[in-house]
Amino acid sequence: MTATEPPRSGAQAVDRAVFVLNCFQGGDPELSLSELAQRAGFPVSTTFRLAQALVRGRLLDQDPATDRYRIGHGLACLARPALSRLGLDAAAPHLYALAAGIKITVSLSVPDADEALTLFQARPPIHFCHNQIPQERRPLRASAVGHALLAHTTAADGALFDTVRRRGFAVEEIDSEEPIRAIAVPVLGPDKQVWGALGVQARAVRLDHDLVRAVIPAMHRIAVRIGPYFHTAAAGDGFGAA
């Protein structure tokens, strides 16, 4: 323990370990020890102890060739019951089939406070590019997936949400070096309340209006097919009545 580090308790060590794991959110990154320490804001020595404990617990893996860390298979095993409870294990084959059919990555997002959280991504076997990967979190009121989630709740009013409900999907133009277009459709649970949203995005020159019209029916079919697997309560208390 360095002179600048406060005394450690069991609870503090757990909190720090969770903080280290959270550094791997988004994009499945591999991080060096120094990168991990920088993200976590901990001394390198502290980060090393925490990372090695997580490796021993199989929550992190360490590449023997590069010493870089990544999320471990043990964490996936722990997450499997939650994914099954949410319905993702049953829905995943349909999402991969949709991605292969339209040749664009398909994401499933759920509401989390005032944001849309990307819960799952199904990448196509061909025609994949990084422009198809959405940010992990997007504002509900400023994104296609957010508008699809909100449009069928009592929180939605105004011309924008009327348009989303009328045409059955939401559109977002994302400003970037290569302009990106995103579209999303709602996923309704067995109780007919919105549970999540299916979204796709790609370079606007590829996901043009003709392709949008072509893929929307397929997205709706899969949204209807996977809807019975989900329960609104699992996505967040009271969202459907927000």
223 and 160 fall within a common domain: yes
Confirm whether 2 is domain-assigned. no
Q: Return the pLDDT at 152.
A: 83
> What mean pLDDT comes out for the span 129-133?
88
Q: Is the pLDDT of residue 196 over 70?
A: yes
Q: Which two tokens stand for residue 16?
A: 């720090």
Q: Which residue would you say has higher pLDDT here, 162 or 128? A: 162
Decide if 200 contacts 104 (C-beta within 8 A): yes
Q: Which two tokens stand for residue 68?
A: 């870089």
pLDDT band at 9 (very low <50, low <70, confident <90, very high): low
* Of 27, 55, 75, the domain-final residue: 75
Domain that holds residue 179: 87-241
* Of 75, 103, 123, the domain-final residue: 75
pLDDT tens, 168-187?
Answer: 999 999 998 899 999 999 99
127 and 224 fall within a common domain: yes
> What mean pLDDT comes out for the span 44-60?
93
Q: Is the pLDDT of residue 7 over 60?
A: no
Q: Return the pLDDT at 214.
A: 96
Q: Return the pLDDT at 233.
A: 40
pLDDT tens, 101-121?
Answer: 999 999 999 999 899 999 889
- SS3 annotation, the chain: CCCCCCCCCHHHHHHHHHHHHHCCCCCCCCECHHHHHHHHCCCHHHHHHHHHHHHHCCCEEECCCCCCEEECHHHHHHHHHHHHHHCHHHHHHHHHHHHHHHCCCEEEEEEECCEEEEEEEECCCCCCCHHHCCCCEEEHHHCHHHHHHHCCCCCCCCHHHHHHHHHCCEEEEECCCCCEEEEEEEEECCCCCEEEEEEEEEECCCCCHHHHHHHHHHHHHHHHHHHHHCCHHHHCCCHHHC
Q: Return the pLDDT at 220.
A: 97
Q: Is the pLDDT of residue 140 over 60?
A: yes
**Total domains present in the chain:** 2
What separation in angstroms does the CA of 180 have from each of 69, 114, 144, 202?
31, 23, 12, 5
Q: What is the CATH number of the domain that holds 157?
A: 3.30.450.40
Confirm whether 81 is domain-assigned. no
Confirm whether 5 is domain-assigned. no
Confirm whether 4 is domain-assigned. no
Confirm whether 155 is domain-assigned. yes
Confirm whether 1 is domain-assigned. no
What separation in angstroms does the CA of 78 have from each of 72, 74, 82?
10, 6, 8
91 and 167 fall within a common domain: yes
| pTM, entire model | 0.71
